[in-house]
Structure 1
Amino acid sequence: MLSDVEIRTTKPKLKPFKLADSNQLYLVITPNGSKLWRMKYVFDGKEKTQSFGPYPLIGLSAARQMRDEARRLLLDGIDPAAAKRQQVQASIESSRLTFAVVAAEWFELNRGKWAVRHGNDVLRSLKRDAFPHIGKIPICELTPPKIVETLRLVEDREAIETAKRLRQRISGVFGYAIAAGYVDRDPSEKVDAALKPLPRKGHQPAITDLATLTKMLSDVEDEYARGITRLAVRFIALTAVRPGELRGACWDEFENLDGDKPLWRIPAERMKGSLERKVEVGGDHLVPLAHQSVAILNVARKLLGSRHLVFPNDRDVNRPMSENAIGYLINRAGYRGRHVPHGFRASFSTIMNEWANRDGAPGDRDVIDLMLAHVPRNKVEVAYNRAGYMPRRRELAQVWADKLTAGLVPPEAVAHRPSQPLSTGRSRRVRRPFS
């Protein structure tokens, strides 16, 4: 049997030669001084050689352990050389299965179940917050501390809820990876304990008194702003849709604007929630339009023409209006902390439900829920509700519009107010009502 002293002191010769150990393990010493571990064995009637690596990187004790492991494989009827090749190939494939690669597979598998808007949010959050930090790491090598480190970077932006959602999406990727046989555990599963708790949420600020709400609209429309932004504020107040649904409004979503039953058909993929939920409530969200809402659309068309988007961005007409444009305008009018764009839904719900209790017809509260795209309590009659309640939804939309716009100036006047304060002297600016 060999010893470390013998191995270290043996000098190379003009030709390669062997130093035998035991149980077919030996060391090949080449003329250039390299010392390489080998093992002879017989498998399926053929003599083969297994390589274990160079000395001293592989010491005598380690070489003997590798020899013994190879002999155990032989006893189980496994070729040690073939097993090693498979292990190397598996290691290579594992290194290629980075988190970003597996996340892309997971996304493609699930995107058909999601609304387009939600799918875009998922992909954007992974590209922005996960891939730069863990995207190139093999998924089998990711650890809870590394995932926490990634989520901490999101928390440092005070985006606590975003960090929670990102953790859920990372966990979703690992759930797929486990099912696909890439990994056997989810290191993100228990990291919630290391994350900051969600701040306590209050209700979104909303004015729920009709007189105050109408006064707020009047004040907002007196503020300097783009004409299309002012129109957008009045339109969202009339329709009580979500701000994202308003910003993405396209002209081809509107029907019968010149007829007696004007309608805004918001596609299911632009609505909040899963596709399953939307199919459950009938898919597209139908918004019957009061004549005041149609008037706003007519002015918007004169203002900007029949481009794709009804409420486009100031700098690029092919992009939606900024998500902050309406909120900033409300704040400038003096209503910061009192009302937000999403608050118009609460305004509509509160004021119209109070009206329904006093002056409405039986079932009006359910109709109001349908107008807000809420899931009906009685899901058995969903299909009937969407079709059968449409006349009443149209009537209530007109009731709301009449109440809300009483005393407000026509939309033409709103659109043509100046977008900027007028300066004096030679530097006086020209009014730009169409900006």
Structure 2
Amino acid sequence: MLTEIECKNLRCPPDKKRVRLSDSGGLYLEAGPSGSLRWFWKYYFGGKEKRLALGRYPTISLKQARLARDEARLLHAKGIDPAMKRQEEKLFNRHQSSNTFEAVARELHEIKRDGWSEKYATRWLERLEKDVFPWIGAMPVDKITAPILLQVLRRIERRGAIETAHTLRQTTGQVFRYAIATGRCERNPSPDLHGALKPVTTKNMAAVLEPARAGELLRAMDGYTGQPVTRVAMLLSALTFQRPGNVRMMEWEEVDLQDAMWTIPSVKMKRTKQEKLNGRPHLVPLAKQAVKLLQEIYPLTGGGKYVFPALTTKARPMSENTVRLALRRMSFSNEEMTAHGFRAMARTMLVEQLDANPDVIEAQLAHNKSGPLGAAYDRAQFLTQRRKLMQQWADYLDELRQGAQVIEFRKA
């Protein structure tokens, strides 16, 4: 029988590969050349000699090693191979660790991220890391029920982030569907929560929609006393009604003044990553008024990359807040008009005041077409109509600017 003193003093001589001290019942302590001391239990199973590692000394004391040996002997007495049992437990634990909600979510993220935009992929994971993983990330995905998931989403609701709660219900649903596909759970509890969350109150982007007020806005922009580049950016936003990000990042090489066309590369459009890579550029016909504005600003910014560069450096586009602040300066509040509001203004007034074809307007807005054709829809078929539409819209804005009474429907 070994003693603690013998265990502490055991060393392996330099000329030997290992030294062993036996205790009892097949238990022994082995010293290696590196100075390590390890416990093993020797036993026979199926007519073969085997040994079971029980841990390192002194982390595992002599007393603890004997207890571990006795537990292994009990399994052996029942006809169970202790080494095989341990291997099964390791495999089970490894399987369980890969079955946690967090593990499945991160696996899905890794698979999908190349097909997502960088911004979406980052935000997708950040939401889970902040609001889901701390509560159910360590749980086996097949043990998460609808009431458990609801508790997580209720926490988000309580801080007033209603839209985030709804978004995460959908995101967790993606994770559960992937878990089902990979055989790690049998059902998705997310759909069971449909209707259980507080409804999202949708607030549309503020926009001027009345012709008379639109005329006031146009006159205010004409008389804007701030930076001339900012003034042109606002006017061009009204004339082209493209997304604010596309307007402020407009580049001179994208503009053909002779053909009166602004070609926005596909990678700059609000599309999926796949569509950005393989989609067509978005064509924006320029009315005579828009061409004139660009010709006026060319001496100021034409030597650089961006049509609307930042004030501090021409290497970057103007800030996303520039137009918003200019609107505030002209006494149009956030609740009345935003940079994005120029799109809503055009979409509404083109239909209500000019009786324009909604399909042509949607093509000009670069909205995805619904229906069976989907992304395969060829927007270029409306190019002729869109040229006419953009000139019609620019002429109408001139009438509003002059104070014309154009409240009733105008038929083309």
TM range, smaller chain: 0.5 to 0.7
Asked if residue 263 in structure 1 is aligned to residue 261 in structure 2, the reply is yes
Alpha-carbon distance, 1:322 to partner? 2.4
Question: Which amino acid in structure 1 is aligned with residue 43 of structure 2?
Answer: K
Deviation track 1:38-72 (CA, whole Å, cap 9, x = no partner) reads 361325x5300123454655785x76555555677
Alpha-carbon distance, 1:200 to partner? 0.9
| Paired residues of 1:253 and 1:265 also in contact (CA < 8 A) | yes
| Paired residues of 1:70 and 1:80 also in contact (CA < 8 A) | yes
| Paired residues of 1:167 and 1:188 also in contact (CA < 8 A) | no
Question: Which amino acid in structure 1 is aligned with residue 269 of structure 2?
Answer: M
Aligned equivalent of 1:219: 220
| Paired residues of 2:207 and 2:341 also in contact (CA < 8 A) | yes
Provide the secondary structure at the position in 2 that maps to 1:310: coil
Distance 2:204 2:135 in 1: 40
Query: Following superposition of structure 1 onto structure 2, how do residues 109-128 of structure 1 map, counting pairs within 5 Å?
Result: 109-114=111-116, 119-126=117-124
Unaligned runs of 5+ in 2: 8-20, 32-36, 403-412
Provide the secondary structure at the position in 2 that maps to 1:123: helix
Aligned equivalent of 2:23: 18
Bigger CA drift: 128-137 or 210-219?
Answer: 128-137
Identity rate, percent: 29
Distance 2:72 2:179 in 1: 31
The 1:356/1:49 distance shift into structure 2, 3 A limit, reads same
Distance 1:274 1:328 in 2: 30
Question: Which amino acid in structure 2 is aligned with residue 49 of structure 1?
Answer: R
Unaligned runs of 5+ in 1: 1-6, 21-25, 410-435
Give the alignment's Cα RMSD to 1 decimal.
5.1
Distance 1:309 1:232 in 2: 12
| Paired residues of 2:28 and 2:41 also in contact (CA < 8 A) | yes
Distance 1:92 1:13 in 2: 38
| Paired residues of 1:95 and 1:138 also in contact (CA < 8 A) | no
| Paired residues of 2:97 and 2:103 also in contact (CA < 8 A) | no
| Paired residues of 1:287 and 1:371 also in contact (CA < 8 A) | yes
Distance 1:139 1:302 in 2: 57
Distance 2:372 2:245 in 1: 26
Provide the secondary structure at the position in 2 that maps to 1:41: strand
The 1:221/1:229 distance shift into structure 2, 3 A limit, reads same
Alpha-carbon distance, 1:347 to partner? 1.3
Question: Which amino acid in structure 2 is aligned with residue 48 of structure 1?
Answer: K
Deviation track 1:252-284 (CA, whole Å, cap 9, x = no partner) reads 333x3223xx2222233333344678899x743
Question: Which amino acid in structure 1 is aligned with residue 388 of structure 2?
Answer: E
Question: Which amino acid in structure 2 is aligned with residue 246 of structure 1?
Answer: V
Asked if residue 42 in structure 1 is aligned to residue 45 in structure 2, the reply is yes
Query: Following superposition of structure 1 onto structure 2, how do residues 6-405 of structure 1 map, counting pairs within 5 Å?
Result: 16-20=21-25, 28=28, 38=41, 40-43=43-46, 45-52=47-54, 54=60, 60=67, 66-69=72-75, 80-81=82-83, 84=86, 88=90, 106-107=108-109, 109-114=111-116, 119-126=117-124, 129=127, 160-162=162-164, 164-165=166-167, 168-169=170-171, 172=174, 176=178, 179=181, 184=185, 189=190, 197=198, 199-254=200-255, 256-259=256-259, 262-274=260-272, 283-336=280-333, 337-357=335-355, 364-376=357-369, 386-405=379-398
Distance 2:224 2:319 in 1: 18
| Paired residues of 1:171 and 1:186 also in contact (CA < 8 A) | no
Question: Which amino acid in structure 1 is aligned with residue 257 of structure 2?
Answer: L
Alpha-carbon distance, 1:213 to partner? 0.8
Alpha-carbon distance, 1:170 to partner? 5.8
Provide the secondary structure at the position in 2 that maps to 1:272: coil
Distance 1:398 1:288 in 2: 9
Provide the secondary structure at the position in 1 that maps to 2:23: strand
Provide the secondary structure at the position in 2 that maps to 1:50: strand
Alpha-carbon distance, 1:11 to partner? 5.4
| Paired residues of 1:171 and 1:189 also in contact (CA < 8 A) | yes
TM-score for both structures, normalised by structure 1 = 0.65
Distance 2:73 2:299 in 1: 85
Alpha-carbon distance, 1:87 to partner? 5.4
| Paired residues of 2:76 and 2:82 also in contact (CA < 8 A) | yes
Bigger CA drift: 384-393 or 91-100?
Answer: 91-100
TM-score for both structures, normalised by structure 2 = 0.68
Question: Which amino acid in structure 1 is aligned with residue 208 of structure 2?
Answer: I
The 1:88/1:402 distance shift into structure 2, 3 A limit, reads same
Distance 1:297 1:389 in 2: 24
The 1:378/1:148 distance shift into structure 2, 3 A limit, reads closer
Alpha-carbon distance, 1:94 to partner? 8.4
The 1:71/1:351 distance shift into structure 2, 3 A limit, reads farther
Deviation track 1:216-272 (CA, whole Å, cap 9, x = no partner) reads 132245345332222211111111112233233233333x3223xx22222333333
Aligned length: 373
The 1:309/1:83 distance shift into structure 2, 3 A limit, reads farther
| Paired residues of 2:263 and 2:282 also in contact (CA < 8 A) | yes
Alpha-carbon distance, 1:355 to partner? 3.5
